[in-house]
Amino acid sequence: MRILIWHVHGSWLTPFVHGPDEYLIPVLPDRGPDGLGRARTWTWPAAARELAPAQLREEGCDVVVLQRPHEIELVHRWTGLRPGVDVPAVYVEHNTPAGPAPATRHPMADHDIPVVHVTAFNALMWDCGAAPTTVIDHGLVDPGYRYTGTEERLGVVVNEPVRRWRVAGTDVLLRIADELPVAVHGMGMAALEERAPHLAGHLHEDVPQDRMHDLLARHRAYLHPYRWTSLGLSLLEAMTLGMPVLALATTAAPEAVPADAGVVSSDPQVLVATARRWLQDPDEARERGLAARAHALHRFGLDRFLADWQQLLKEVAR
């Protein structure tokens, strides 16, 4: 199949484009949000091709995978096709509701286009009305076991931590960083350094994924301080690297992290106490990390993810 899909969420799209289909990725001259094109910090196969709007109109597609409401209008303007009417379509919901949960109405609630949630928690919280809904859990391209844990520091991955302050749990992160050594990877590190100058030297700005995996795996454990996010793929990536994890008990994290893989708690001090123990006991940290990797590969493996998507896309295309 020829699948039209925008580059919106690179970590999610990376495993998706490893399937058996052709992936048509819109590109615009400014490479802005509606035409970012192929990833530059992730490795994508050649089957993910960049096409300008005029090329999309000429080539057409077999199915559209939407991720933002305004993409319905973009498809119609660029190709003349109406998603869900002239061409089969599904809508992937990556996020938890931004409004009052669980009363927020989904933008696709009044459409016939199926909504695919990336976690069961999302499906529970969004009001999708009469729209068909399903859940396809995240999938990951296995980065391989890379854990060394040699650096007695907690690793964190978060983009725009200042703008997303309470959503990302940046306030929790900084409280923990007052007690324990922490390193942060992601976009928007300059703004974070202004708020937390004591982290200077341990803030890594927009590192390419493969390099970030190597840096992250040196840390003794992974800290996931998010309050209200669907299920951060960075958490699952850390688990596949072989890192033990510390996470707030929010959204889908309690279901994603088994007891032998780390500690999940709504009390940050529980996470601090566990981190102190692991900093002093690298053998326990390594054992927990091995359990985390085994679980992540089993539940969030690439083959399962692609098989689930193939089944859905074939049903929709019919």
- Bridge partners of 240? none
Q: Is residue 206 situated within a structural domain?
A: yes
Q: Is residue 161 situated within a structural domain?
A: yes
Q: 311 and 188 share a domain?
A: no
Contacting residues for 148 by C-beta, under 8 A, at least 6 apart: 217, 218
Q: Is residue 144 situated within a structural domain?
A: no
CATH code for the domain in which residue 265 is found: 3.40.50.2000
Provide the 3-class DSSP secondary structure of residue 72: helix
Q: 285 and 239 share a domain?
A: yes
Q: Is residue 244 situated within a structural domain?
A: yes
Cα atoms in the 13 Å half-sphere on the side-chain side of 42: 22
Q: Is residue 146 situated within a structural domain?
A: no
Q: Is residue 119 situated within a structural domain?
A: yes
Q: 210 and 84 share a domain?
A: no
C-alpha to C-alpha distance for 145 and 84, rounded to whole angstroms = 41
Q: 156 and 128 share a domain?
A: no
Q: 170 and 259 share a domain?
A: yes
Q: 288 and 209 share a domain?
A: yes
C-alpha to C-alpha distance for 79 and 54, rounded to whole angstroms = 8
> What Cα–Cα distance (Å) separates residue 48 from each residue in 2, 151, 317?
10, 37, 19
E-only strand ranges, 22-62: 22-26, 48-51
CB 212 within 8 A of CB 204: yes
Q: Is residue 170 situated within a structural domain?
A: yes
Q: 68 and 181 share a domain?
A: no
CB 67 within 8 A of CB 94: yes
Q: 21 and 107 share a domain?
A: yes
C-alpha to C-alpha distance for 206 and 193, rounded to whole angstroms = 14
Q: 106 and 119 share a domain?
A: yes
Q: 311 and 291 share a domain?
A: no
Strands 133-135 and 63-66: unpaired
CB 298 within 8 A of CB 304: no
Q: From first to last of the 318 residues of the chain, give the pLDDT tens digit.
A: 999 999 999 999 999 999 999 999 999 999 999 999 998 877 899 999 999 999 999 999 999 999 999 999 999 999 999 999 999 999 999 999 988 888 899 999 988 999 999 999 999 999 999 999 999 999 999 999 999 999 999 999 999 999 999 999 999 999 999 999 999 999 999 999 999 999 999 999 989 888 999 999 999 999 999 999 889 899 999 999 999 999 999 999 999 999 999 999 999 999 999 999 999 999 999 999 999 999 999 999 999 999 999 999 999 998
Q: Is residue 252 situated within a structural domain?
A: yes
**pLDDT in the model for residue 208:** 87
pTM of the entire predicted model: 0.93
Domain count, the chain: 2
- Bridge partners of 151? 219
Q: 234 and 195 share a domain?
A: yes
Name the residue range of residue 240's domain: 151-299
